[in-house]
Structure 1
Amino acid sequence: MTPLPDSFCPSDGTRVPSGSLAWCCPLCRGPLDLDFSPTPAPLKSLTGRANSLWRYAEVLPLATPSVSLGEGRTPLVALKDGISAKLDYLTPTLSFKDRGAVMLAELALRLRPSRIIADSSGNAGTAIAAYCARAALPCTVYVPFGTPSKKLEQIRAHGARVEVVRGGREATASVAREAADDPDAFYASHAFNPYFLHGTKTYVHELWEDLGGRLPQVLVVPAGNGTLLLGAALAVAELYGAGLLDRRPALYAVQAEAVAPLAAAWRAGADDLVEETPARDTVAEGIAIPRPPRARQILRAVRDSGGTFATVTEDQIRHAQLDLASRGLYVEATAAACWAAVRDGALGERTAVVPLCGAGLKSGLAAATP
């Protein structure tokens, strides 16, 4: 069995030994990173490997999977004007969160906690519930009041216990973290646990392979907790560092205008979140994160890539969701946010890929403005 890497705090350098159930830095309570710098395999060596994200074994901190559901290797289809969509809603639980959830379930199997705790606005909780079911691990998912009923139904169907918190996303995370402080609990947090990011990075490794060893000029990514964005940055660094890319793509991070703390910090030229502004309701509930724990890392990753932030209105998201549906792609509102940001030519002549991260069946079409 492959030894687990240690974790460390990117803010103060505090190290956490492998095998620990600690979910955050013991000093600052911030998220952890992995002490793990892999080298990707050359393109030609990937031929004939498993048709899942596990084909990129060299860059994964866990090997020999036992709970895989065939996650990854999702299609890439053209939209228009040099922009393509990666259909990451075509995964076992119908969202890209499967990429990270399978890593957390594999890790939990190694650590053998008494229970697994997660918090989510729906998709991450669903994915973690499914992979815990696959691994026969007990799981409790905390969700905010107002989580779409279809997502709750899916979580419960996988056998997880659902705890509905009377409050928004921040209140839900607070309750879950309190429960996760139990020394025998495993906090399957897509925001805090670095293994999740090493799952989501396979999104970019797949793009690189499917595009014949290159990447588009722009990677358009949603920015809530930033798990896909930071995973993308990890993959780009790995590929570029190994000499498998001749240039790094720009990260074009998208937030809903109603909840855009990262975009506000970006406009202010800040390295971290600036003064808190009241969040409003948004149909893109999956990226409605008022205080993402990895804000500093997200802002730095976008800046280092030469990218930028964009915000989209509720009407833009709704129109983008309908536009994608008219093209045969039925996704949830959150998944339409990236297309909303670029479909009218914001990227000019540059090539780009947008992720379609969650299926429309999870929450239906966003209601029209009254």
Structure 2
Amino acid sequence: MTKRGWDVTIVAPEGDGAEAIAKAGGITFVGVKRSKKAGFGWLTFGSSLKRTIPSLLNGGGFDVALVEWQAVAGTISSLKNAGTPWLIVDRSPPVFRSLAGRLQWFEYQRAWRLASSKNGANGSVLKSQALADWHRAKQRIVEPTTLMEAGVDVSKFSVANFSGPMTIIHHGQLDEEREIERIVHIGEVLSARGMDFKIKIAGSGNRLTALQKIAYLQDWLEVVGPLPSEKIPEFLASGHLAIFPLPDSKIWRLASPLKVREWAAVGLPMILSDITPHRSVGERTWIRLVTPHAPFDEWADCVEDLLKENLVSLGKQARVDAESEFDWNYTTEELHARLLELKGG
């Protein structure tokens, strides 16, 4: 948005890396408190916003605010008093099924009630058409809606060179809710078939420790844990193909295919579960879809079949598609137009 002429100020929790990223992009950062204790984050975040936002609005001369649902309760009164138009931003409903997850659902539903109230938001920004349709079915959508699917800064990613041992890549949240260990079971089938390969997994989540224990016993599996953002492109570029057997649950049907877009930026062909967000990318030569809970043998068959094709050619097309369709310059066009409307420009 700064490249489009906007002066941007980000208000976000301190100590999670957002400040360094913002400053590197020439963006003003204002840090607020947020407890890392499960179930208490939204309480401390909201209280800190209520203390910080009034003075920020009084001195900032802001034309419009984008407010993620987690921040609505802590900012709505200040925005109303300042007369600042705002849009509620929903990138994802809560994912986890734990007690903390149920508390997040309470806050999520409250945020949408506040946003849809008489003095609420001037619209909503949603990450997928499926999420917009879901809110409409729940009769809590805030019109007009703006779609802003997950984008990627393509220029930060170098193209995979497809050298070395055949390597299957996965990077993302390593959570039970994503059934991430299905990747390991696919690897077990490939290993039993005598294939010479590696699976490299990076990320953080509630199954990281379990995956690392498995990797200790399998020489074809490498689990490196979380990576700093500047190391992610290099990690992805070391692969020959990417894989994501995400389950077909309600929460994932509402998702935006961020990982698909990142992997395309690297030029990686990929094998994905046949679910709504993956289908939303459209038919691509570099994507293979597999029924989400198909037998692991079927996933392994797809890996072997894809490896028989020209990966370099498929990867080049993936990169071209990423440059023309998935870059932030493209995915923020609709949002930019909506913000200009609110500003009156």
Structure of higher RCO (CA pairs closer than 8 Å, 6+ residues apart)? 1
TM-score (structure 1 length as normaliser): 0.31
In terms of fraction of residues, the more helix-rich structure is 2
